[in-house]
Chains A and B, each alone.
Chain A
């Protein structure tokens, strides 16, 4: 069977397709070092564009980027030498290190590692090795219409408030936005954010409040703005621009969960030196400012000097940074499949 399949492959498909592909492929050689980078699209791609001029000035590196989105790790698994560095989600980075798709980060080659909040760094450790280097993170918050709800929300437990009946939007698994609500449930009604069983139980009780689950982060925002939704859980920074539409952003006292934007290095990357140069540049003051300005998330380097007009906009104060919950990204990456099935079962 297998040999037949291989022969078919070779004779029927491979030859003509490969010829077409090869004829149109080919890449030119540059004088500068080119870093092949897999990254996310949208604002993250704009962030990459924003740091690029500074990067090539400081290091001579130019970026050849691909907006792979969620497919980044899959692409590296199939094309191990295609990328020198990859901006991944933290769960994919952790899984990637564990299955050998990524190489462990040589922490001695990262200059500003100590400046990254412990919780953010710890979450990316797999068996004592660092899967990827965070260049920014974003705290989660509750965005809600205080004016329409007629009261203040103060804690994660308030999401279960009966006054929010049919007026709450949360993220849907397999997006980690859904996991964050599970953790909030564990914090509110169990032993803490790691108590996911308590979270699942709380989820059952949250159902009456959930109007719908979103798949795009921006989806609930216009609904908050027009008043057809009273609250949502998402990136806290998305609420900043909504303030003039009557939206209040809350990061509860008891702490919050967060997403992180880490850069990993594929195990078979061809240009590892350039990858480290890139990561180190990303943690520089200049790059952190440009990145944060484009993406509105918080700089991973707490020592980065940002222009005040940028830092004033950030919700992730030192105080918030100290209250970030620990997140085990490897656990999320490994179990998200089962959780997703369970989740869909719960809500169908």
Chain B
């Protein structure tokens, strides 16, 4: 549309990325301390981070938990969003307000109360399923908000027209509603994945013995160790994220988000 260079966006991008650049630069420190600008240059902290099996085990668990929480949250959130934007029913407002609940209290309260509830009432020790369910408590409302926003801004006239022309409900859903909701679903998935992948407060209560998620391991490591291996691990995560993004982009999986999608 516009051929000019989007200077405002570039400026915002630079400000946004600056702290990240500081972390990446810090990972190149030669010394034992994460200082910025870095003193000396070395890649040793990358091999240190990659050689830390705790980090890698935790990365695997975090990934599994984030994927599971995202899938559950998006399915559950999409069903609810569909009801909220396509139907009118008694208690509609109440359902929308209730869904906000978990977003109104700090995560530690969610974590502690879910843990106490699971332990006290259900007599269950922390486990990976409990951890996933705990993340979903906040993941569902996050996903729901984004999906509702996307579906609410859709033009229902399209759906009405299709029905008038004799399309079945399922067909309308599959060929119109779902494709139109896709950007919202992708955006929501990313936000929920990131929420779960970054979470510490809920995880601390619900992690099963012998297992830790990556943010928890990194946080606990950082408590007594100021060395740059955390910065190196973070740099690797950025690289990993960008590679995944690039691959998804190339195979067209993100075209609803990055391309023009349906017009």
- Do A and B share a direct contact in the complex (Cβ within 8 angstroms)? yes
Contacts from A to B (Cβ < 8 Å): 9, 14, 17-18, 20-25, 36, 40-43, 45, 64-71, 74-75, 78-79, 82, 216-219, 221-222, 225-226, 235, 238, 241-242, 245
Inter-chain contacts of B209 with A (CB < 8 A): 36, 64-66
Contacts from B to A (Cβ < 8 Å): 31-36, 54, 112, 115-116, 118-122, 124-130, 133, 204-205, 207-210, 212, 216-217, 219-226
Cross-chain contact A20 with B125 (CB below 8 angstroms): no
Inter-chain contacts of A241 with B (CB < 8 A): 32
Cross-chain contact A242 with B216 (CB below 8 angstroms): no
Inter-chain contacts of A75 with B (CB < 8 A): 115, 119, 126, 205
Q: How far is the CA of A17 from the CA of B208 in the complex (A)?
A: 16
Q: Besides A66-B210, A238-B224, A245-B31, 7 other CB < 8 A contacts? A: A17-B133, A21-B133, A36-B209, A42-B224, A74-B205, A78-B120, A221-B226
Given contacts A67-B212, A67-B216, A71-B204, contact A216 B223 (CB under 8 A): yes
Inter-chain contacts of A42 with B (CB < 8 A): 220-225
Q: How far is the CA of A74 from the CA of B217 in the complex (A)?
A: 20
Inter-chain contacts of B216 with A (CB < 8 A): 41, 67, 69
Q: Which of A22, A65, A67, A70 contacts B124 (CB 8 A)?
A: A22
Given contacts A25-B127, A41-B212, A43-B224, contact A14 B207 (CB under 8 A): no
Q: How far is the CA of A317 from the CA of B198 in the complex (A)?
A: 42
Q: Which of B125, B217, B225 contacts A218 (CB 8 A)?
A: B225
Residue of A nearest to B221 (CB): A42
Given contacts A21-B124, A41-B220, A218-B223, contact A225 B31 (CB under 8 A): yes
Inter-chain contacts of B35 with A (CB < 8 A): 222, 225-226
Chain B at the A interface: SS class: helix
Q: How far is the CA of A17 from the CA of B126 in the complex (A)?
A: 13
Cross-chain contact B33 with A222 (CB below 8 angstroms): yes
Output the least CB separation between B164 and chain A (Å): 40
Cross-chain contact B205 with A71 (CB below 8 angstroms): yes
Instruction: List the count of A-B residue pairs having beta carbons below 8 Å apart.
Output: 110
Q: How far is the CA of A242 from the CA of B217 in the complex (A)?
A: 24
Output the least CB separation between B179 and chain A (Å): 32
Q: How far is the CA of A30 from the CA of B128 in the complex (A)?
A: 21
Q: Which of B33, B112, B121 contacts A221 (CB 8 A)?
A: B33
Cross-chain contact B122 with A18 (CB below 8 angstroms): yes
Residue of A nearest to B130 (CB): A21
Cross-chain contact A67 with B33 (CB below 8 angstroms): no
The 3 closest A-B pairs by CB, nearest first: A41-B220, A42-B220, A66-B209
Output the least CB separation between A184 and chain B (Å): 21
Inter-chain contacts of A25 with B (CB < 8 A): 124-125, 127, 129
7 A–B pairs (Cβ distance < 8 Å), ordered by A: A17-B122, A23-B129, A70-B204, A74-B115, A75-B126, A78-B115, A225-B35
Q: How far is the CA of A226 from the CA of B26 in the complex (A)?
A: 12
Cross-chain contact B224 with A17 (CB below 8 angstroms): no
Q: Which of A17, A69, A226, A235 contacts B204 (CB 8 A)?
A: A69
Output the least CB separation between A223 and chain B (Å): 9
Output the least CB separation between A286 and chain B (Å): 23
Cross-chain contact A65 with B223 (CB below 8 angstroms): no
Cross-chain contact B223 with A20 (CB below 8 angstroms): no
Q: How far is the CA of A136 from the CA of B164 in the complex (A)?
A: 77
Cross-chain contact A18 with B33 (CB below 8 angstroms): no
Cross-chain contact B118 with A17 (CB below 8 angstroms): yes
Output the least CB separation between B14 and chain A (Å): 24
Q: How far is the CA of A18 from the CA of B225 in the complex (A)?
A: 39
Output the least CB separation between A343 and chain B (Å): 19
Inter-chain contacts of B126 with A (CB < 8 A): 66, 75
Inter-chain contacts of B32 with A (CB < 8 A): 241
Q: How far is the CA of A23 from the CA of B222 in the complex (A)?
A: 35
Cross-chain contact B129 with A218 (CB below 8 angstroms): no
Cross-chain contact A9 with B217 (CB below 8 angstroms): no
Q: Which of B118, B122, B133, B222 contacts A216 (CB 8 A)?
A: B222
Inter-chain contacts of B130 with A (CB < 8 A): 21
